Structure 1
Amino acid sequence: MQRKGVRRLVLSLAIVLPLLGVSGILSIVVRHSQQRVVTSTRKLRKTWKRDEEAGVPGQELLPLQQNLKKLTSRRLGFIPATWFATYDGTTGSLQNLRGQTSTLWTKTMKSTKQQAETALKALEKTMGSFSATEHQARLQALKQATTPNAYRQLTQAWKQKKQSWTATVAKLKHVSGGYSDGHPSDVFKEVKTLTSMLKSAPNTKKVKSARVTVTDIKKYFAQSPQVQLKEHAEVLKQLKNAIHNVHVADVMRYQEEAGANPFGKPFTNYLRTRQSQVSVAIFNAKTGKTLTYHPSQRYDTASIVKATIMADLLYQSQKNHKPLSKEEQSLMTPMIEVSSNQAASKLWNTAGAARGIGQFVHSVGMNHTTPGQNGYWGLTTTTALDEVDLMKLFAFPNHVLDYTSRQYGLSLMRHVVGWEDWGVSTGAKGKVVVALKNGWVPTAKSHWHVNSIGFIDGDGRDYVIAVMSEENPSEQYGIQTVDKVSQMIWEAMG
């Protein structure tokens, strides 16, 4: 009995012990496999959570998460596949998911970085030269970004900055009437006018103050649109005050040439042969000097006053923000181009007759001009210097006539009829452009006033001129005198 029992025990052990060994080994394999799957799964889920928080889109992570769920829930019959992950490809699939996760991160980082770079380029293009001050800081911010969200924040900030900048520029253009040379148009035009007025002007107290204003405006132009918009109204007011305070008369007669005759001995010798009494004034824009000959003598204007009527009406239209009416335009052309007296009489009255013209000439510094009374506009009295000041209003930027008004007036004076094309245009050749207005009137028997005013531009010349004459025995005699004087001056100005 005892021997049989021993044999059974030995037989049982012989069967059970190997099974226990296999079972132990299998248990170790399963536990190791499950541990690897659990560890890999935890790492993946932790990585995905971190990546999503850092900016990887959740919808792009979702397919990877679904694949993981499928992998970890697979079964081989009734046995979980994760027990034998090393042998059935689960481990390889998990490794592949890690690779896809890394690729998705790299792809997201690349795309969000590109978006930030695009936003930066667009911003700096919009800001132009203003972007230079912060350019390096923006590049540094781009370099320091380490997550998609960081790139997205930069992109959003730069897009918002661009939108704000664009909106501010649009508002600035609206309040200033547009942009000129990259600056608010109204400020740019006004400072251009003031600068032109102050060119070579003497250092009077008013002029010094105005030059300080010009410097301030240049600093204003260097500010951002946000600052320019905020300060626009105050700056424009400051600029207009400066222009107003520097009266036209303060800058129009500067650097007058000394001496009774700046035109040379032949000029004097010629006038000694003539009965004509002559006065001349010239403003040479190339040198900034005013040249005169007998400047204080007063003359009857005759038809050259028509240029004053035109200037007055153009100035009034600007102040009232209304263009010339069709009727005014239809009268203005014949008054200037063919010297129509009928048109001049109507426009004289439109301008307010003697009183209205008087207010205008006083406001622009023509203090030696007295309008003719009782409708006799041709008997307005003036000086050569006052007439040069008048022509400056058409020829050069100023605060009285704007660019449109100046070009309108010059265009008419450049198209006078052939029989009136004499006087200051004499001697001009080639591509020289001359704008002029002539006038002649007898004030007594054998006593003619013959005058010519104009703007000469080209062939090295850039000047406005007034040649006034009286005591001419006839109209033709006066024209000959004015022609010869104008020709001598043309040659002297070359």
Structure 2
Amino acid sequence: MPNPSRSRQRRPKTGALLALAAVLLPAGALGAAVPAQAAQTQSGTQAQTQSQSQSQSQEPRAGTPRVTAAVLPLDGSRQRPAVYGDDTAYDTASIIKVDILAAALLRAQDAGRALTAQERAYAEPMIRQSDNASANALWRQIGEAPGLDAANRRLGLTETRGGSGPRWGLTRTTASDQIRLLRAVFAPESGGTAGGGALNPTSRAYVRTLMNGIADGQDWGVSAAGSPTGAALKNGWLQRSTSGLWDVNSVGRITVDGRPCLVAVLSDGNASMSEGVSLVERTARAAVSSTAAH
């Protein structure tokens, strides 16, 4: 678990805070409708409740969800993401699967080879359908948390720590670190950034292809803030066994007014998955709008 004292707590200017106030409220204040397909994905969380009572973090109280968003346009207008809310650590749930894939690709690159057919057979359902059994297999293959942490040092991530033992869903990360990971995959010229160039062009293209092909029913989240087509996504959702509250996260590349934009929204303490999805989507819309206005 990252040292909380080291987590940067960047906040936007006063005007942006006012613009985001409506979505940085407890879930009870939310009114946005949740796509019906999102609710259907709840059954996919059951295999992910691996000893969640042994979480690496204190769970929030019921009725007090947290949310943080980070936004980085890829048009060169910003070098650092705009971060809304406290940039502190959250459980990843299934968004960690992009990081697991990146670590597996780095292992293959180091061996001078492409992913094997078996590795691809794990990677593709892991990203597209958020398959947990495939994630379990690749998590073991990369060396679990130590392997993930080693890969993240190369990718430029500084605030992400792998979950203990088999609990990849309890990896801890920040919104700004998720932007670093997305930048390593999607930035058009990544060589000048921390972690830039760690993934070779073939590896980057492979991750993009899978994130562009998310299964129907999982195409919610940060995509709500951009064009209805062409989003590259990975979402994560996890009900905590001790409290019954939900972690709901979404990361990806979207298109906003014709320009590509990286967005990460992390939340926890949601009373239900549907409320978490609503919070994530409203926050994504507000954060993207606020970033575009400044």
Kindly indicate whether residue 231 of structure 2 is the aligned counterpart of residue 434 of structure 1.
Answer: yes
Query: Could you tell me how far apart the structure 1 residues matched to 2:142 and 2:16 are?
Result: 37
AA aligned to 1:280 is A
The corresponding residue for 2:140 is 349
Query: Could you tell me how far apart the structure 1 residues matched to 2:18 and 2:243 are?
Result: 32
Aligned match for 2:157, one of 366, 371, 374:
366
Tell me which protein shows more helix as a share of its residues: 1
Query: Could you tell me how far apart the structure 1 residues matched to 2:168 and 2:243 are?
Result: 20
Instruction: Say which is worse superposed, 338-347 or 437-446, in terms of deviation.
Output: 437-446
- Flag the 1:262–1:293 CA change in 2: closer, same or farther, 3 A: farther
1:282 counterpart SS class: strand
Query: Could you tell me how far apart the structure 2 residues matched to 1:476 and 1:379 are?
Result: 21
The corresponding residue for 1:281 is 70
The corresponding residue for 1:395 is 186
Displacement of 1:492 in angstroms is 3.9
**Aligned pairs for 1:85-124 within 5 A:** none
Aligned residue pairs, count? 238
Query: Could you tell me how far apart the structure 1 residues matched to 2:86 and 2:204 are?
Result: 25
> Could you report, residue by residue, the CA deviation over 1:339-366 in whole angstroms, capped at 9, with x for unpaired residues?
0000000011111111111111123232
Unaligned runs of 5+ in 2: 1-8, 28-63, 191-195
Query: Could you tell me how far apart the structure 2 residues matched to 1:366 and 1:389 are?
Result: 6
Kindly indicate whether residue 258 of structure 2 is the aligned counterpart of residue 460 of structure 1.
Answer: yes
1:283 counterpart SS class: strand
The corresponding residue for 1:382 is 173
Does the CA contact (< 8 Å) of 1:461 and 1:493 recur in 2? no
TM-score (ref. length: structure 1): 0.46
Displacement of 1:319 in angstroms is 1.9
Bigger RCO (CA 8 Å, 6+ sep):
2
1:270 counterpart SS class: coil
- Flag the 1:351–1:261 CA change in 2: closer, same or farther, 3 A: farther
Aligned match for 1:320, one of 107, 111, 129:
111
Query: Could you tell me how far apart the structure 2 residues matched to 1:348 and 1:405 are?
Result: 18
> Could you report, residue by residue, the CA deviation over 1:138-171 in whole angstroms, capped at 9, with x for unpaired residues?
xxxxxxxxxxxxxxxxxxxxxxxxxxxxxxxxxx
Kindly indicate whether residue 278 of structure 2 is the aligned counterpart of residue 480 of structure 1.
Answer: yes
Identical-residue share of aligned pairs (%): 31
Query: Could you tell me how far apart the structure 1 residues matched to 2:203 and 2:278 are?
Result: 32
Displacement of 1:463 in angstroms is 1.6
Bigger CA radius of gyration = 1
AA aligned to 1:266 is A
> Could you report, residue by residue, the CA deviation over 1:300-343 in whole angstroms, capped at 9, with x for unpaired residues?
00000000001111122122210000000011110000000000
- Flag the 1:273–1:305 CA change in 2: closer, same or farther, 3 A: closer
Does the CA contact (< 8 Å) of 2:69 and 2:287 recur in 1? no
The corresponding residue for 1:203 is none
Aligned match for 2:20, one of 267, 282, 294:
267
The corresponding residue for 1:302 is 93
Displacement of 1:261 in angstroms is 6.1
The Cα RMSD (Å) is 2.1
1:433 counterpart SS class: coil
TM-score (ref. length: structure 2): 0.75
AA aligned to 2:130 is S
**Aligned pairs for 1:12-27 within 5 A:** none
**Aligned pairs for 1:210-289 within 5 A:** 259=12, 263-274=16-27, 275-286=64-75, 287-289=77-79
Query: Could you tell me how far apart the structure 1 residues matched to 2:14 and 2:217 are?
Result: 31
Displacement of 1:427 in angstroms is 3.6
Query: Could you tell me how far apart the structure 2 residues matched to 1:399 and 1:378 are?
Result: 26
Unaligned runs of 5+ in 1: 1-255
